[in-house]
Structure 1
């Protein structure tokens, strides 16, 4: 054994991976884990983790940072503030979206997003693509080339006028995914139903934020989920249904699994911790803070989502961080005005609170094992998007991205968070744990009290092919 000391040794950790929980030391050199075991030689630095759980750094596989928006709207978080908040919440890899605008080449969208990220990220990152204009050139040249270059996942929208594809276009894009081994993510809501309901609601003056949920009932998500599954079955390609909100979409995914289809599913904190009442019980505009799509449902549907996390229906637990401020002119009040629900920017912040919410209420609440927590928040997203085993596990050769957990009372208040958004929808919640230390590439980026900036040290990662297999129902 070499007498050269390791850069860092974490002592007596309670190591949690997606398959095991065990006591061990972890040795780190040059930003990688080099040894996991007992009686490891000394390090230049050492951390005593006796009695504390150590998990792989979180992989947030669905978040929005500095994504181009129509004026006057602007996302509050860029790659600086967004990755700062992620790191302070235990996330060490983020996958936001390079979004193609209609009429724009996909390559131009990727180049623009690299410019937005350059020199800012504190942790590692990669990009999903958003395909909104699948021209012949995009389908036959650009998208296959980008997949080959390591952009191996993309998102398809079935709603939002500036992003949605029709069924024929979806089939075309899914065919490219099948031919080139990419992972297709689908936002499943029926755009025509939403437009019809919105018109009906607005015609009788029902325009307050709470009516956002009325315009997007569960059947809108159910129908689109069913259709997405059918289109994927026709092409014979795996898909991942993102931000699943409740029972009716869950039932469609269970049906698909029972029939042997490779259908993966993602959910988010808002469907466990918020309900439609958070959009308002009157016509107050404050409910705009929780406008997201699909909208939060009710308490019974929260239990459906919890059950799906417990029994393996859900593959990935992401934040869907979409950071719009409540005050000012660029967020939830465009030009400083209270607007109809249909014009409120969709999305809520959650990149920093994602892991602690699930650890506190899932693991410490007795609903989830540590192994399942790691699987949902780190290992499975790394596998789904071609980053495993570099990310998502604690093993020799993996990046030294780690979280040491502090268990104890932690009250969420926005002034304790590190994003650039002026609110959190989880204000006042008392949790049972929070990351006590976050390592990114073997360096302390969050020590439980202070953030240690690593501007520009976050690396862009190219992705391999997905390595997930959906379990049978």
Structure 2
């Protein structure tokens, strides 16, 4: 067999296995796994962990908010940042706003993504205007186009849908084999709390957290699960930030419901105390749902370890700390006028590796599942993406498990002027990333090309076989399995 490229000498990690093997690549696909392979070009993976390229499944790229603000990253800078963090593909959102058609929305995002993305990409379609035409014609057409996940909001004045509309979208999605995602917070509770805080003169960023009480998330998650169960439709609860919310997801799954949970690094690495930094610095840490407390962090780690969460995503929502982003309403803006969201696409996986794998909270197979495999299955990309097997795209990330670096904003590769994780020392970094056999990161530096990524037309969601339950513990002293014999 003639190969184009061989990745040699590394420890291959998938969501189910770890083994020593060389990987043979031809025409951008994995065509061989063997003890020893030769090719005209080789990559020496000795001492490295060879993982599926990450799939970032929740990020906001070249996206307008309902109020007109544009995220700082386009598909090139966002894709570059994702690649530097060990990702070989991503699925940002294509946001329909009221008065826009679904087809119009997807055409708009095609024009933004195709000329720019250096890695493969798809879209989750945000549905904010579920008209009869959208439900009966445009959403089925979007599915046929390969957009097989829809997102809805239970809050935000210009984005929220009511329960009846939610049921309509869930039903259409189920009929066509798509999966629905939901931002679950109680709109009335948030509005009521915000009005009273502002009336009392409490307008600083720190008051963002009490304006979004934990009960607002818990109630909305419970209601969303009930709606999904009524029509027996799959549902992803995105960015779960509370212990009670995680328990609702866990219990629904235990009862056999097709409910999937996602959480994000900010909820495990930052707290609401960060909102109380001097002046407007707290605005850098405003996201929705908001940051919680240290006890919640530990609870969410437990749920991540034991399989409650199928997905680990960045929710990268890049708004610069200037008049184009966070401070668009001026330096004295109230917490209700500051754009919600923070960057993190390049750090999703290094954070999880350093503080998850190396501390023994999760195992390497769990890391592979959370970084790529589960998203590939749930969002209709598996086994083309998300694993290392014969026939899969050669989307591969080589990790140096012992490389220690300090996080700085200038190293993120995005278009942002800050990172909320500035100064953290993390151990374990991706050093080489392949997208369909092409190097997009080499020696820790970005080497990809603008527009080289391809649109990923996705299939039906796979509702079975998720990794994520607790695997046998591995001893960190063995270099995370690197001493396993071939």
**TM-score strictly above 0.5:** yes
Give yes or no for the alignment of 1:457 onto 2:452.
yes
- The aligned counterpart of 1:194 is 190
Question: In the TM superposition, what is the alpha-carbon distance from 1:449 to its structure 2 partner?
Answer: 3.8
* Shift in alpha-carbon separation, 1:249–1:115, aligned structure 2, 3 A: same
* Shift in alpha-carbon separation, 1:449–1:313, aligned structure 2, 3 A: closer
Candidates 78, 86, 90, aligned match of 1:94? 90
TM-score by length of 2: 0.94
Question: In the TM superposition, what is the alpha-carbon distance from 1:71 to its structure 2 partner?
Answer: 6.3
How do 1:289-300 residues align onto structure 2 when only pairs under 5 Å count? 289-300=284-295
Whole-angstrom distance in 1 between the partners of 2:403 and 2:113: 35
- The aligned counterpart of 1:180 is 176
Whole-angstrom distance in 2 between the partners of 1:380 and 1:152: 15
Whole-angstrom distance in 2 between the partners of 1:298 and 1:401: 36
How do 1:365-376 residues align onto structure 2 when only pairs under 5 Å count? 365-376=359-370
Give yes or no for the alignment of 1:337 onto 2:334.
no
Alignment: residue pair count: 467
Give yes or no for the alignment of 1:235 onto 2:231.
yes
Whole-angstrom distance in 2 between the partners of 1:456 and 1:305: 37
Whole-angstrom distance in 2 between the partners of 1:151 and 1:417: 28
Give yes or no for the alignment of 1:29 onto 2:23.
no
Moved more, 418-427 or 70-79: 70-79
Question: In the TM superposition, what is the alpha-carbon distance from 1:30 to its structure 2 partner?
Answer: 1.0
Retained in 2: the 8 A contact 1:263–1:470? no
* Shift in alpha-carbon separation, 1:367–1:65, aligned structure 2, 3 A: same
Retained in 1: the 8 A contact 2:343–2:420? yes
What are the Cα deviations for residues 249-298 of structure 1, in whole angstroms up to 9, with x where unaligned?
1121122123221110001100110111111156x210000100111111
- The aligned counterpart of 2:476 is none
* Shift in alpha-carbon separation, 1:70–1:464, aligned structure 2, 3 A: closer
Question: In the TM superposition, what is the alpha-carbon distance from 1:141 to its structure 2 partner?
Answer: 0.8
Question: In the TM superposition, what is the alpha-carbon distance from 1:92 to its structure 2 partner?
Answer: 0.8
Question: In the TM superposition, what is the alpha-carbon distance from 1:435 to its structure 2 partner?
Answer: 0.8
Give yes or no for the alignment of 1:66 onto 2:77.
no
Moved more, 200-209 or 42-51: 42-51
Whole-angstrom distance in 1 between the partners of 2:437 and 2:277: 47
What SS is found at the alignment partner of 1:101? coil
What SS is found at the alignment partner of 1:394? coil
What SS is found at the alignment partner of 1:200? helix
Retained in 2: the 8 A contact 1:185–1:242? yes
Candidates 359, 383, 395, aligned match of 1:389? 383
Candidates 42, 45, 49, aligned match of 2:41? 45
What are the Cα deviations for residues 174-196 of structure 1, in whole angstroms up to 9, with x where unaligned?
11112111100011000111000
Whole-angstrom distance in 2 between the partners of 1:264 and 1:469: 11
What SS is found at the alignment partner of 2:446? coil
Give yes or no for the alignment of 1:214 onto 2:195.
no
- The aligned counterpart of 1:444 is 439
* Shift in alpha-carbon separation, 1:422–1:199, aligned structure 2, 3 A: same
Give yes or no for the alignment of 1:10 onto 2:7.
yes
| Unmatched segments (≥5 aa) in structure 2 | 470-486
Question: In the TM superposition, what is the alpha-carbon distance from 1:391 to its structure 2 partner?
Answer: 0.4
Retained in 2: the 8 A contact 1:72–1:334? no
Retained in 2: the 8 A contact 1:262–1:469? no
Whole-angstrom distance in 2 between the partners of 1:281 and 1:124: 38
What SS is found at the alignment partner of 1:431? strand
TM-score by length of 1: 0.96
CA RMSD of aligned residues (A): 1.5
Give yes or no for the alignment of 1:144 onto 2:144.
no
What SS is found at the alignment partner of 1:150? coil
Moved more, 228-237 or 246-255: 246-255
How do 1:246-257 residues align onto structure 2 when only pairs under 5 Å count? 246-257=242-253
- The aligned counterpart of 2:482 is none
- The aligned counterpart of 1:285 is 280
- The aligned counterpart of 2:221 is 225
* Shift in alpha-carbon separation, 1:254–1:371, aligned structure 2, 3 A: same
Question: In the TM superposition, what is the alpha-carbon distance from 1:148 to its structure 2 partner?
Answer: 2.1
Question: In the TM superposition, what is the alpha-carbon distance from 1:336 to its structure 2 partner?
Answer: 4.3
- The aligned counterpart of 1:302 is 297
Candidates 308, 313, 323, aligned match of 2:308? 313
What SS is found at the alignment partner of 2:439? strand
Retained in 2: the 8 A contact 1:262–1:470? no
Give yes or no for the alignment of 1:130 onto 2:143.
no
What are the Cα deviations for residues 343-373 of structure 1, in whole angstroms up to 9, with x where unaligned?
1111110110111000111111111110000
What SS is found at the alignment partner of 2:170? helix
Question: In the TM superposition, what is the alpha-carbon distance from 1:342 to its structure 2 partner?
Answer: 0.9
What are the Cα deviations for residues 96-130 of structure 1, in whole angstroms up to 9, with x where unaligned?
11111101111111111111112101000000100
Question: In the TM superposition, what is the alpha-carbon distance from 1:335 to its structure 2 partner?
Answer: 4.9
Question: In the TM superposition, what is the alpha-carbon distance from 1:168 to its structure 2 partner?
Answer: 0.8
Give yes or no for the alignment of 1:120 onto 2:119.
no
- The aligned counterpart of 1:274 is 270
